[in-house]
Amino acid sequence: MATLLTTEPMSESPGAPREIEVPAPTAWPFVLAFGFTLLAAGLVTTITVSVFGAVLALAGCIGWFREVFPHEHEEVVPVLPEDIRITTERSIVERLPIPAYRRAWLPVHTYPISAGVKGGWAGAVAMAILACAYGVLKAGSVWYPINLLAAVVYAESLKLGPAQLYSFHADTFAIALVLHGLVSTLVGVLYGAMLPMFARRPIVLGGLIGPVLWSGLLYTILGFLNPLLASHIDWPWFIASQVAFGIVAGIVVTKQSRKPTRENLPFLMRAGIEAPGIIPPRENGEDGQ
């Protein structure tokens, strides 16, 4: 049985301070942060924005420094004691049940690596069809997008003349084929690992939202890494090809059968060790020995 618990109001200690000094509020950190933001934003806009951001950042540094040197700017805040009363009318102590939860491994089922590979190859075909259609309809040559793809790792293809950029070259074709197949396979395996994590509408998240975000990120950084290549890319068609890859790869992956994740299995089974009582019986009815 628990007794009645009552505490008296907390009385102020005779030696407690009635006022304390705290750092004075200042807006200079916000000025400094805004200056750095404009400084970075100017890299993708104009140099005027960067110059203005640099001036704000410098002013923020100086203003913030003067807030603490040679003397810290402080303000006096009164200390108000709190009247705290802790009471209870319960006569017994309640015990909360603590159930024994088993650690959950999510996702419980996932796709095999082969499903991701199949999805990546199917998405690569869909992406290649759309890219070649762009080359024929917009550029007038099916080899134009292939030469642009090879320019990601082989910059010499961009130095070709206009006539040669729209013609077939065995070296650039081989580079583009290997690069497209390798990246598509890796992204397909990634899709196979990520799609089970999206319980609702995996195709929308993995096939639409993901490619759009990836294309926007690539559009932002490609201007710094390879401005010449960025000037040759038709971004609406590029985004459409990425979305086509994501949708086709996602559909192919989701059509494959899932299997339980191995994290839920005992260590002996994951290690492939014969363990009686853990490994299920074989077809002849004998336990693993």
Residue pLDDT, tens place only, 11-51? 455 556 678 888 888 888 999 999 999 988 888 888 888 89
Residues 28 and 162 in one domain: no
Helices H / strands E in the chain, number of each: 11, 4
Note whether residue 130 is domain-resident. yes
Query: How large is the average pLDDT for residues 157-178?
Result: 75
Spatial distance between the Cα atoms of 138 and 178, rounded to a whole number of angstroms = 25
Read off the pTM.
0.51
Residues 13 and 54 in one domain: yes
Residues 55 and 185 in one domain: no
pLDDT value at position 245? 87
Spatial distance between the Cα atoms of 230 and 180, rounded to a whole number of angstroms = 18
The percent of residues above 70 in pLDDT, for the chain, comes to 71
Residues 114 and 194 in one domain: yes
Q: Is 112 exposed, middle or buried (CB count within 10 Å of its CB: 0-12, 13-18, 19+)? A: middle
- Greater confidence, 26 or 98? 26
Domain that holds residue 62: 1-95
Note whether residue 90 is domain-resident. yes
Residues 85 and 188 in one domain: no
Place of tokens 């006096």: 76
User: Which tokens sit at 269?
Assistant: 């089974």
Place of tokens 């759309």: 130
- Look at the chain and report how many structural domains it folds into: 2
pLDDT value at position 58? 93
Q: Which of 95, 124, 153 is the last residue of a domain?
A: 95
pLDDT band at 222 (very low <50, low <70, confident <90, very high): confident
Spatial distance between the Cα atoms of 162 and 109, rounded to a whole number of angstroms = 51
Q: What's the pLDDT tens digit per position in 82-91?
A: 777 888 777 7
Residues 79 and 164 in one domain: no
Note whether residue 263 is domain-resident. no
Of 2-11, 55-64, 265-274, 276-285, the one with minimum mean pLDDT is 2-11
pLDDT band at 282 (very low <50, low <70, confident <90, very high): low
Spatial distance between the Cα atoms of 173 and 183, rounded to a whole number of angstroms = 15
pLDDT value at position 59? 92
Spatial distance between the Cα atoms of 32 and 61, rounded to a whole number of angstroms = 6
Note whether residue 104 is domain-resident. no
